[in-house]
Structures are given as structure tokens and as C-alpha cells.
Amino acid sequence: MGHEEHEAYEEPTRRGLKMTCFEAHKDYPSSKPSSKFRATPHRGASWIHKMVAAAVVTTMFVATSAFAGSVAVPVTLGGVIHPDSDDTLAFTPDGSTVFFDRSEGPHKTVMIAHRVANHWSKPEVASFSGQWFDQDPVVSPDGSYMLFNSDRPTQPGSKPLTQNYFGAGVTAPGANIWRVDRTTHGWGKPVWLGTIVNSDVFIDFASIAGDNTLYFMRWNAEGKAMQFWRSAYKNGQYQSPERVILGKPSETLHDPAIAPDQSFIVFDSGRIKGGLGRLKIAFRDGDHWGEPMDLGDDLNKDLPWGSHLAPDGHNVYVTGNSGIWQISLDPWLKASRNNERPPL
């Protein structure tokens, strides 16, 4: 796998360090107040420790967007999810199983929990994770397989992947995408997706369309920025990736969440202090993408990232400085159906 020469791109801090608590909401009763500081990683980078004092939030924070009824509500799954260590929720289509990342020191692990009798089980390390720097799990729309990123060696006897995209002189874990099929007894063994997709040492944050088309992040040497790429799946094989044209080639994009029918995509865009950009949505218009729409200051105030669509297709889960949030996309979806542009 080649590693193109490039200017070092310093990625903003991925997670903030805050103490928070949430009150219960809907089907997701929250955890108790946390008194922990959390270390703040860069994506794929070694952890950079900060000690940031923050007041405990004693009431549920609900962010409202420019649209009436569009809110961000905290998600903890009855205390299973902890805001100081967990991120990027990914559910199976029936909502009975959830994967997510758990950070412990400089290590990241994919965790799994199950919903049994309306309660979530204690999370366990997924059968395919635990040894390497694993993150960003995502489940296919039909639930038959899942993908995740890992720095694990791609060939027997080779070394873990490393990269230096996120700061001059900084060597950090790399990432390639791996597949795990669902079996009658759980989940199978990880399979590397191969060089068509994994053409570099940092191929990150997969999202899966209904026809198995793959969207992911990769360095764009032309624009010297992280961009999205799309690889169609035909006859059991991924095809040569094409860049997804969203904005200028130099505009930094992070964490795509593609709709099953590829009619819209949710993502982070731009570079902001302490975050991965502004949360936006764009709609497909024929063979190209329309102008991205910002989701507004209120929904961006917690610096959200790591978008994953809920199984219902009209809610999105994001991770912010103070925890994981669920955001309804209904106002934007309705406006798109009615050929209206939502107000800024």
C-alpha cells in the first residue's frame, strides 16, 4: 500500500473533556453524573491528555435547531453508554444489538451489547476486537455484516499500520477497513477488504448503502484534505473508488453517514477549533450532490462527529464533547421532499 507525500494536516481534537449527567428521555434512561475527566484523542492519533475543568450539567441538555421539533437528545441506553469513554453507536436493523467504540488510555476497542427484555446487557468486547486499535463499527442495512477500522496488520507477519496525516512528526495508528459477517452463532472472523478499498494506510469511517456501495474517508492529495470516496459493489467485488464531490477539493470532510438509498448524506465539514467541522446534510440531485446544508448552531454546539444513521433512516446518532446524541432529520427530509430549502 502506498503512502503519498503530503503536507501534514493537523486534525482538530476529536473528543472534549467534560463532566456531565443526563436525565432520562424516551426509551433511553441515562447514566448517573460522571465525575471523570476524559482524555481527548485525535482520530487515529495517539492520545493527547488535557485537564479541562467543566461544570456538571444537572439538567438534561436538549439542543434545538432552527426547526421546531428538531432536537438533540442524549443517549446512554440505561447507563450502558458512558460519556467519558464511548462513542459512535451502530445498531443492527432490528435495534436489538449495538456496537460502539470504547476508549481506555491510548487504546480503542469495539464493544457489543444486546437488548433483552427491554434492558441493555453489560457491554462486552466484540469477539473480533480487543488486541488492536479498532474503532468506527457500522452495520449493513440488511444486518448481514458489519465493517470497522483497525490498525491491525493486513498480512501475516506484517506490522500494525501507522500514519502521520494529523501532525508533523506525529506517528499514530493507521486504519484499514475490515468486514465481519453475521453467523448463526454471532459474528465471524474479520476479513480485510483488500487493496481496491484499502489503498493507503489511513482508510477510515465506513458507511454502507442498501446495495452495499461503500462510502469512506481517504486523503485527497489534490486538495490536501480528508475527503469522501465511494466504491460500488458489483458481482461480489468492490469497484475502483471515486471521489464524492461535496464542496471544494480542499474542504475537509469527516465521518459520512449515507442513506440506504443514497438519497442523502450526513457528515462533518470544515475545520473548527476543538472539533471535526460543522454537522451538515446534503441531498443527491440526479448524478451529483446538492449544496450541503448546515444543521444550525444549536445542533453543532457540542461539536458533534461520528455520524451513524439509526435503523429508521430518519434519525442520526452523533458523538459530542459531552456524550452521544440522537438528532431527528425529519425537518430536512421533509423540506427536500417538498423541494424547499430549510431556513438558516
For residue 157, what is the domain's CATH number? Answer: 2.110.10
Q: Which amino acid is at 220?
A: N
pLDDT of 182 > 90? The answer is yes
Mean pLDDT of the chain: 82
pLDDT of 5 > 60? The answer is no
User: Which region among 167-171, 174-178, 248-252 has the lowest average model confidence (pLDDT)?
Assistant: 167-171
Q: Which amino acid is at 204?
A: D
Cβ contact 44:202 at 8 Å: yes
Domain membership of residue 209 (yes or no) is yes
Domain membership of residue 162 (yes or no) is yes
In the prediction, which pLDDT does 25 show? 30
Grid cell digits, residue 341: 430549502
Q: What is the pTM of this model?
A: 0.82
pLDDT of 331 > 90? The answer is yes
Report which listed range, 43-52, 66-75, 204-213, is most confident. 204-213
In the prediction, which pLDDT does 341 show? 63
Which string of b and e fits 68-94 if b means at least 16 CB within 10 Å? eebbbbbbbbbebbbbbbbbbbbbbee
Domain membership of residue 101 (yes or no) is no
Pairing of the two strands 278-285 and 264-269: antiparallel
Domain membership of residue 167 (yes or no) is yes
Cβ contact 122:106 at 8 Å: no
Per-residue CA distances from 171 to 44, 70, 150, 165, 175 (Å) = 10, 40, 15, 8, 13
Q: In total, how many domains does the chain have?
A: 1
Write out the residue range of the structural domain in which residue 236 sits. Answer: 63-77+153-337
DSSP structure class, residue 330 = H
Question: Span 256-263, mean pLDDT?
Answer: 98
In the prediction, which pLDDT does 59 show? 31
Domain membership of residue 22 (yes or no) is no
Per-residue CA distances from 58 to 20, 32, 51, 118, 304 (Å) = 8, 10, 21, 26, 21
Domain membership of residue 36 (yes or no) is no
